Amino acid sequence: MSIMNSLSPRAVSAPESGIVEVVNYARGRDGLLPLWVGEGDLPTPDFISTAAMDALADGETFYTWQRGIPELRQALSDYYARHFGVTLPREHFYVTGSGMQAIQIAVQALTSPGDELVYLTPAWPNIAAALEIAGARSVGVQLQFEGGKWAVDLNSIGEAITPKTRALFVNTPSNPTGWTATRKDLADILDLARKHDLWIMADEIYARYFYAGGRAPSFLDVMAPDDKIMFVNSFSKNWSMTGWRVGWIVAPPETGQVLENLIQYSTSGVAQFMQKGAVAALNEGDGFVEANVRKAALSRDILCDALMATNRVETLKPDGALYAFLKIDGVTDSRKAALDIVDKTGVGLAPGTAFGAGGELFLRACFLRDPQQVNAAADKLCDYILKL
């Protein structure tokens, strides 16, 4: 018997990341312009790193609060008051070991084996994988794509709901499409969840990356205090902290002991010195986030304007998030195209096949980088596209 046959079938069936496949294929090449993963090109700013180093030097290396240190949970409460205009006491906030763990814990809290969760595709692949590993079933509903823009079809969501459905997962602004729900979209989805007595798992990681100004519409704008919504979020994108693996959940206080238990039996909490860095990010980092958003907006324009000028790319400038999702004339296999593009141009893109139904013909480019780098990548991509 193969040793693999003795492993859990759910673990064995966990898919390889289509994004990581391309990254591993070309990582470390000279002159690489890496637009494939969802992170910027800046390291964590000094005011965050220094706060963590000071805490480490002060010996803050012991077991700590499972739900997060009180100082960080209060900083999250203050952050939401500033940017979302809501008063949420710190009992609503739970610190996790990354946004990915926030999703895993929410999946464990909201679903049981055999349950279903409806989500919008194309989507970041980790949500579907997290569900399947947990024994639940992911049910994808495709966003509508027309004229380079994406839109949600409420009827399609309703048709996907069955007696086994326990929750809806909504990521807006969206990775990878940039689709950004309007306030009406969110109200309509919430009404549907209320009708069927479903939870909503709201991934609003990119809420600050909203190019109409301010922040994107949020379920916090339309929900009532008793609505069943669990928010998952991360420090990664806003504050250049992808490698820190620190995230958070916003949830009704009644769920607090359940969430604390799930944190206890997974990581037993996030290191206190890392949480001190996160406190600094929230309390001192608004200017850094605003500069990141301005840079993303400029690089978005550079990349999208150049690609659309070829008349061979179907896309529009995304309303939110960090990605151009590109449909190139003549590309029918985005995995093969991503490998070919990095070989011939040195530009790393993520294949749309990694993002599920509706993404197969697309390629994703993250534009949260120095505008000069993005301009160089755009020149190489345009040259490649025009030779197809």
What tens digit of pLDDT does each residue of 19-59 get?
999 999 999 899 999 999 999 999 999 999 999 999 999 99
Alpha carbon distance 363, 353 (integer Å): 8
Tell me the per-residue pLDDT of 309-359, one tens digit each, with 9 for 90 and over: 999 999 889 999 999 999 999 999 999 999 999 999 999 999 999 999 999
Token pair of 313 as six digits: 């790319």
Which residue from 114, 112, 115, 138 is spatially nearest to 126, judged by alpha carbons?
A: 138
Alpha carbon distance 321, 208 (integer Å): 8
- Long-range contacts of range 83-88, CB-CB < 8 Å, 24 or more positions apart? 83/207, 83/208, 83/215, 84/215, 84/218, 84/220, 84/221, 85/220, 86/220, 88/250
Taking the model in full, what pTM does it have?
A: 0.95
**What is the phi/psi pair of residue 145, to 5°?**
-120, 120
Query: In Å, how far are 132, 145, 314, 387 from 329, measured between CA atoms?
Result: 34, 15, 8, 11
Alpha-helix runs per DSSP H in 163-231 = 183-196
Residue 1 has pLDDT above 80, yes or no: no
Share of the chain above pLDDT 70, in %: 100
User: Which pLDDT value is given to residue 146?
Assistant: 87
Which residue from 328, 327, 388 is spatially nearest to 359, judged by alpha carbons?
A: 327
Which residue from 136, 146, 141, 139 is spatially nearest to 120, judged by alpha carbons?
A: 141
Residue 272 has pLDDT above 90, yes or no: yes
Tell me the per-residue pLDDT of 196-212, one tens digit each, with 9 for 90 and over: 999 999 999 999 999 99
- Which residue's entry shows tokens 């011939």? 344
- Which residue's entry shows tokens 């809806």? 168
- Confidence category of residue 190, pLDDT binned at 50, 70, 90: very high
Which residue from 379, 348, 345, 341 is spatially nearest to 365, judged by alpha carbons?
A: 348
- How much is the average pLDDT of 76-84? 98
User: Which pLDDT value is given to residue 366?
Assistant: 97
User: Is the distance from CB of 358 to CB of 121 less than 8 angstroms?
Assistant: yes
Amino acid found at 127 = I
Residue 118 has pLDDT above 70, yes or no: yes
- How much is the average pLDDT of 248-262? 97
Query: In Å, how far are 156, 171, 288 from 48, measured between CA atoms?
Result: 43, 27, 11
User: Which pLDDT value is given to residue 8?
Assistant: 87
Residue 139 has pLDDT above 70, yes or no: yes
- Confidence category of residue 232, pLDDT binned at 50, 70, 90: very high
User: Which pLDDT value is given to residue 189?
Assistant: 98
Amino acid found at 223 = M
Alpha-helix runs per DSSP H in the chain = 9-12, 18-26, 46-57, 70-84, 99-110, 126-133, 154-160, 183-196, 256-264, 272-284, 286-309, 334-345, 371-386
Q: For the chain, give the mean pLDDT.
A: 96
